[in-house]
């Protein structure tokens, strides 16, 4: 079983879960098609780094979405990120050999999430994103980030068994 990004559930509005995430260290690739971005990141954790150190795969794989919405959450390019295992601090992570791979830390944040099963195709993700943002708007919860997709399963898992989530950073009191 792979390590998953830790969080604390802080509330629920129907099918939307409100979560508090701690700071997360991530390896990210921006501006490439998903297959290429995944390849860069997988090679990085497989030892294509300055120390040739292998890093355990974690879940979820996070992909920002390029979706123009009525709230001010417009993204102009796709980013794919692998969450690094919690045992690593930012300074502990080996330097990537590929300049396309960037190491950073996402600060602690509040996130609203809606879960769905199946393939994370464009229509499914778009529909779930709309449901998430509409629920937040109807309940007066400000959206402060760009929607993102979280996938928890490897591609060889049949679609019906896949766990996916669409999330967005929110402002909580």
Do you know the residue count of the chain?
Answer: 173
CATH superfamily of 3-118+131-170: Regulatory factor, effector binding domain (3.20.80.10)
Cα–Cα distances in Å, from 41 out to 26, 54, 97, 117, 137? 10, 12, 11, 24, 34
Indicate if the pLDDT at residue 71 is higher than 60. Answer: no
pLDDT tens readout for residues 101-111: 999 999 999 99
For 66-91, what is the mean pLDDT? 69
Q: Rounded to two decimals, what is the model's pTM?
A: 0.89
Where exactly are the structural domains of the chain? 3-118+131-170
pLDDT tens readout for residues 114-173: 999 999 999 999 999 999 999 999 999 999 989 999 999 987 899 899 999 999 999 987
Identify the pLDDT of residue 79: 92
Identify the pLDDT of residue 154: 85
């Amino acid at each position: 079983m792979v390590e998953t990004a830790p969080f604390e559930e802080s509330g629920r509005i129907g099918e939307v879960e409100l979560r508090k995430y701690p700071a997360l260290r991530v390896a990210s690739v921006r501006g490439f098609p998903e297959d290429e971005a995944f390849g860069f990141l997988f090679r990085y954790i497989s030892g294509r780094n300055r120390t040739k150190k292998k890093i355990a795969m974690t879940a979820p794989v996070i992909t920002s979405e390029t979706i123009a919405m009525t709230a001010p959450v417009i993204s102009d390019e796709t980013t794919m990120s692998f969450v690094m295992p919690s045992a690593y601090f930012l300074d502990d992570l080996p330097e990537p050999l590929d300049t396309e791979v960037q190491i950073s830390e996402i600060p602690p944040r509040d996130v609203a999430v809606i879960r769905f099963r199946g393939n994370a195709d464009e229509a499914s993700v778009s529909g779930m994103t709309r449901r998430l943002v509409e629920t937040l708007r109807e309940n007066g919860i400000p959206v402060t980030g760009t929607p993102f997709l979280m996938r928890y399963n490897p591609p060889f898992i049949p679609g019906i068994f896949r766990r996916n989530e669409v999330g967005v950073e929110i402002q909580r009191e």
